[in-house]
Amino acid sequence: MNDVVRLAQSFDEWRAAARELIARGVAPASVQWQSLLGDGDLFAAMAEATDTSAPPLRLPRQLVELLESAACFNVADRWAFLYQVLWRWQQGQHDVISPADPDGARLHGMAKAVRREEHDMHAYVRFRERPQEQGAPRFVAWFEPTHDVLPQVARHFARRMGNISWMIATPTATMMWDGETLHTGPALMRGPADIDDAGEALWLTYYRSIFNPARLNADLLRSHIPSRFWKNLPEGAIVPAMVSGAANGERRTGQTATVGQRSGATMIPISPERAQPVRELSTTLDQCRRCELWQSATQAVPGVGPAQAAIMLVGEQPGDQEDLAGLPFVGPAGAVLQRAMQEAGIARDSIYLTNAVKHFKWEPRGKRRLHKTPAQREIAACHDWLEQELASVQPQVVVALGSTALKSILQDGAATMTPLLGTPIQHDGRWVVTVYHPSYVLRAPDEAMQRQAYRVIVEGLRQALSLIHHQA
């Protein structure tokens, strides 16, 4: 008679049951995995208790992560399939983790689809502000995920939104954040929240203002945002009318509606600069059009730090998170740099942080924006901004974080890092210390190279501090 294991849709519960079955030597063909009637509810209880005293399984981290991701893939046979993968591994068939293996290919595909769903939920969840009521969340969002990624995404928003309370509702479950703790529960809504949100109205006004009919590419627009998300996006209600307007003549007049109302020729040639939407410009850097990088970037990212600082750190360019935040070194590379500064004994608020190139250069990879190294012409076009910062901040020591920064500081497109690592040089009356960019620590091919690159950064920062003390 087949063993029958009744599970909720939970990786932890499946893992406990699978551990017990493996310990008993029960083959996949002898197990009938069944879900509860409420399958899809992440918070249902198990119908049968499992033996949690079974010995732990020793699995490589990669396999555990793949199994945990694939467990969120919403398909009826997920638990049976995952147990089959686990059983094969325990039987010594370690090629099951390879994408070249049929089971391995399916496992990797499920994990990839789950990661994509998490990314989509990060991008397309829209919170609406609701009237303040005692104990009620301040913001409410509705989303219809294809896979069971709500807990992971909820943890992401808990980190991003601090102590602001919110709720994300889905057709099968709800998660609420009270500013300190995540709470889980059953489905509480049947559709998007019907809330008069002033912030949403402001967003739609902004969205209309940046729309340029002369640059519309409807096919690209649809390919970037899958159609299933449009119905729950506030801008989804106004995009069709904007696309139709572009097709019916607004495309010809560029950005400004008043152009078509002028007397004279029907078509009035205008320069690309005049066809841009009107934007509030807070600094001269925001107006920079010396190269083409501004066209794809969210904003220019200036340096930050004291008005005058003894040490200036110069990186390559903003990354994805820096481009969105408008601040340098706030992403993963910034975390590495922060750790290195602490180890070197340098307080972040005592130094000036900037980049050689002020706009984010990237290339699309699926739905992600991947860093692309700036060309020499782009480094040269942005050099004046770095010169202004050097003249204003008056640092005694400049730390070049990577090759691009070094080329810009020395104004030498042929400059290379290797001969200068660990060897400070004098340039324009100040010391220049060369180290690796923190992002190299993240992408180095092995752990030994990561440690070595990180050590070079720490030692370079200590050199910069020593040079200041020596001059003092």
Q: Name the burial class of residue 7, with classes exposed (0-12), middle (13-18) and buried (19+) by CB atoms within 10 angstroms of its CB.
A: buried
Tracing tokens 């390879």 back to the chain, one arrives at 98
Q: For 72-98, what is the mean pLDDT?
A: 91
Question: What percentage of residues in the chain have a pLDDT greater than 90?
Answer: 47
Q: What is the pLDDT of residue 187?
A: 85
CB atoms closer than 10 angstroms to residue 251: 14
Q: For 342-348, what is the mean pLDDT?
A: 94
Check whether 198 has a pLDDT greater than 70: no
Question: pLDDT tier at 270 (50, 70, 90 boundaries)?
Answer: low
Q: Are 93 and 107 in contact (CB under 8 A)?
A: no
- The per-residue pLDDT for range 142-159, each reduced to its tens digit, is 888 989 899 999 999 999
Q: What is the pLDDT of residue 432?
A: 96
Q: What Cα–Cα distance (Å) separates residue 221 from each residue in 173, 210, 211, 218, 236?
A: 30, 14, 12, 5, 11
What end-to-end distance do the CA atoms of the chain give, in Å?
83
In this predicted model, which residue has the larger pLDDT, 247 or 267? 247
pTM: 0.48
Tokens encoding 110: 């499920």
Q: What is the pLDDT of residue 51?
A: 47
Q: What is the pLDDT of residue 250?
A: 56
Q: What is the pLDDT of residue 282?
A: 44
Comparing CA positions, the residue from 382, 318, 396, 412 lying closest to residue 352 is: 396
In this predicted model, which residue has the larger pLDDT, 235 or 280? 235
Q: Are 378 and 291 in contact (CB under 8 A)?
A: yes
CA–CA distance, 146 with 170 (Å, rounded to integer): 10
CA–CA distance, 299 with 286 (Å, rounded to integer): 7
CA–CA distance, 70 with 49 (Å, rounded to integer): 23
Check whether 200 has a pLDDT greater than 80: no
Domains along the chain with CATH numbers: 3-119 (no CATH), 125-186 (no CATH), 198-261 (no CATH), 285-471 (3.40.470.10)
- The per-residue pLDDT for range 155-169, each reduced to its tens digit, is 999 998 888 999 999
Q: What is the mean pLDDT of the chain?
A: 82
Residue 196 backbone zone (phi > 0: left; psi -120 to 50: alpha; other: beta): beta
Check whether 280 has a pLDDT greater than 90: no
Q: What is the pLDDT of residue 82?
A: 92
Tokens encoding 274: 């005049």
